[in-house]
Amino acid sequence: MKVLRKNLVLEGHDLAYVMLERQIMVESRSNPFITQLIYTFQNAERLFFLMEAARGGNLYRILLRQTPRPFPYERIIFHSGEIACALSFLHVKFIAYRDLKPENVFIFEDGHIKLGDFGLCKQNINQYPKATTFCGTQEYIAYEIYKHYEYDENVDWWSLGIMIYELFTFITPFYDEDESQIEENVLFKDVCYPETLPKDAKTLISGLLERDPKRRLGNKNSPLGLLKDQPFFREPFTLNNIENRRVPPPWVPNVCILNSNKFI
């Protein structure tokens, strides 16, 4: 359950974001890759969003305690594919997600993932003027946002590239202990790819981290081709199979262990 204090929502001028989040979840009830909203209610002081329970926790928690490292290759393909399907669903509705990070990717007990937390979404991203708001989580913010350019839904594909890199390496590609250096790294630093990274994964990630959003993989007009045609999404874990739930998850969380005090 998500609980929001009304006074804080109003003081932060966040009511529009709260209502947008509710609207997106209501309109996404048919999609298996979006966390489902069950009920909303309020009292004099608080707003309540009752959502389906992700008993496997979020991907951030999974990353913290994953052993051995890295994840098995098929699991990375599967998680990446389901996230891509969720983003594609939002983009078809002209919504930019703008806050893709492991904390917002929820693992369900059947092994499937769903996106949650839609407070930073931007609707009508196909219209002009495009988005200009500087928002997101530092390590996952796209190049064009740091440049203060107008931007569209292609910022989400950049964030997906960051996350896939992180699933392989357990660190984001532009990370620096000095947080002020992260922006400089995004703007000017080349990504360092480990020698152990599979070729297909490197091709995919480098395409998603293309600094020109018109050329970026995921953009339907990208000269790099379509995301669904990337060799990374190999049989049986093609994007078409993943989207239509034709393949079972290669990993299912042990919910009892995940929710034990050992990991709190």
Task: Kindly give, in sequence order, each residue whose CB lies less than 8 Å from that of residue 76, ignoring residues fewer than 6 positions away.
Answer: 70, 164, 167, 168, 201
CA dihedral (168, 170, 176, 177) in degrees, to 10, reads -170
Is 99 one of the annotated active-site residues of the chain? yes
Helix (H) or strand (E) holding 41: strand 37-42
Residue 136 — left, alpha, or beta (φ > 0 → left; ψ -120 to 50 → alpha)? left
Residue type, 160: L
Active-site residue (options: 14, 99, 178, 212): 99
**Residue 48 · residue 5 · CB < 8 Å:** no
Task: Indicate which residues carry an active-site annotation.
Answer: 99
